Amino acid sequence: MAQPTPVPSPVPGPRHRLVEVPGGRIHLVEQGTGPLVLLLHGFPESWRAWSHQLPVLAAAGHHAVAVDLRGYGRSSKPADVASYRMLCHVADNVAVVRALGEETATVVGHDWGSTIAAASALLRPDVFTAVGMLGVPYAPPGGPRPTDAFAAIGGDEEFYVGYFQEPGRAEAEIEPDVRGWLAGFYASLSADTMAPAGADSPFFVPAGRRMSDRFVEGVLPAWLTEAELDEYAGEFERTGLTGALNRYRNADRDWEDLAAWNGAPITQRSLFVGAERDASTTWLSAAIDAFPATLPGLTASHILKDCGHWIPRERAAEVNGILLDWLTPPSPRP
């Protein structure tokens, strides 16, 4: 009599954990067992940015771990602005790997998470043996002082990074209506809801105005439900936005801290996924063109058509497939 085909056991659901790091604690959500894949979100999100990737990576035999970066969610929120410098984020990531009982990991990030993932791979290649970057391509440290560069962008209007850099200024705009501001920001950067080409850019702020004055209003992108928006808003209403915004306020400090790595390539195995309608990708097209020199270990690079900024959510299934293909080691040649 034929035996029934075994049915694979379902992967246990995600688990929340707090781990100690030198700067305090990091909240993480983990799922699955196997090689460690550390997932880093961007602004203004949380571990939830990777909610579609966690179960898929776990089912494929990976230990998928999405963190709340310092300043977000249940992770520590130091009062000192300098505590959000890039060196501190890299130290957090190393400490998370160690707390999980591992020596090495693949690190994957989106938006600010992409930049933090790249810095982690650059500074600690002994720990981060492969790096995936979504949205923001790798550009080696160096160049002009960032605040000088930001001040030169936009002419009479202020570039949003400079707007975010002044302590308390963006908080005064966002925190009276966190949910409304987030809804507008998410919609304005999503391919299915962003303003048509030629409209005034939300990334530039006219004198005496607010960034949100140019946001799309009254609609949510397809990837975001009202309940999910409530979750995001509830977290930021509890924590405030200062910890998240302090990442922008360390641009010059990072420039100084990383001077020893000016022009340095990342040599580990790497992946880039950009988006056709994401300013983070299009503004940095020169960095993508430089990948043969700056990412000599690049094994896959994709630009997703008709995709906006929120790549892991807007194109979850496609991103999952790309990640699984990239994470699967190539078969040895006979």
CATH number at residue 311: 3.40.50.1820
Let me know if residue 2 belongs to a domain: no
Tokens read off for 316: 């979850």
Tokens read off for 69: 């970066």
At residue 5 the predicted structure's pLDDT band, cuts being 50, 70 and 90, is very low
Let me know if residue 114 belongs to a domain: yes
Task: Please report the pLDDT score of residue 332 as a whole number.
Answer: 52
Let me know if residue 133 belongs to a domain: yes
Task: Please report the pLDDT score of residue 8 as a whole number.
Answer: 45
Looking at residue 144, the DSSP 8-state letter turns out to be S
Q: How far apart are CA 274 and CA 24, in angstroms?
A: 33
Let me know if residue 96 belongs to a domain: yes
At residue 323 the predicted structure's pLDDT band, cuts being 50, 70 and 90, is very high
One of 27, 62, 89, 111 is an active-site residue; which one?
A: 111
Q: How far apart are CA 254 and CA 256, in angstroms?
A: 5
Task: Please report the pLDDT score of residue 89 as a whole number.
Answer: 98
Let me know if residue 266 belongs to a domain: yes
Runs of H (alpha helix) within 178-225? 178-188
At residue 25 the predicted structure's pLDDT band, cuts being 50, 70 and 90, is very high
pLDDT digits (tens, 9 = 90+) for 200-245: 999 999 999 999 999 999 999 999 999 999 999 999 999 999 999 9
Residue 24: strand, helix, or coil: strand
Q: Is 309 a catalytic residue?
A: yes
Instruction: Name the residue range of residue 169's domain.
Output: 15-327
- Asked if residue 331 has pLDDT above 80, the reply is no
Best CA proximity match to 250, nearest among 26, 78, 53 = 78
Q: Count of domains in the chain? A: 1
- Asked if residue 271 has pLDDT above 50, the reply is yes
Minimum mean pLDDT range among 71-75, 149-153, 209-213, 262-266: 149-153
Query: Can you give the length of the chain in residues?
Result: 334
Q: Burial code of 166-182, b = ≥16 C-beta within 10 A, e = fewer?
A: eeeebbebbeeebeebb
At residue 330 the predicted structure's pLDDT band, cuts being 50, 70 and 90, is low
Task: Please report the pLDDT score of residue 334 as a whole number.
Answer: 52
Let me know if residue 7 belongs to a domain: no
Q: Determine contact, residues 245/238, Cβ cutoff 8 Å.
A: no
Helices and strands counted in the chain (H then E): 15, 10
Q: Is 41 a catalytic residue?
A: no
Let me know if residue 10 belongs to a domain: no
Taking residues 307-330, what's their average pLDDT? 94
Best CA proximity match to 163, nearest among 112, 215, 203 = 203
Q: Determine contact, residues 117/108, Cβ cutoff 8 Å.
A: yes
**Is pTM beyond 0.75 here?**
yes
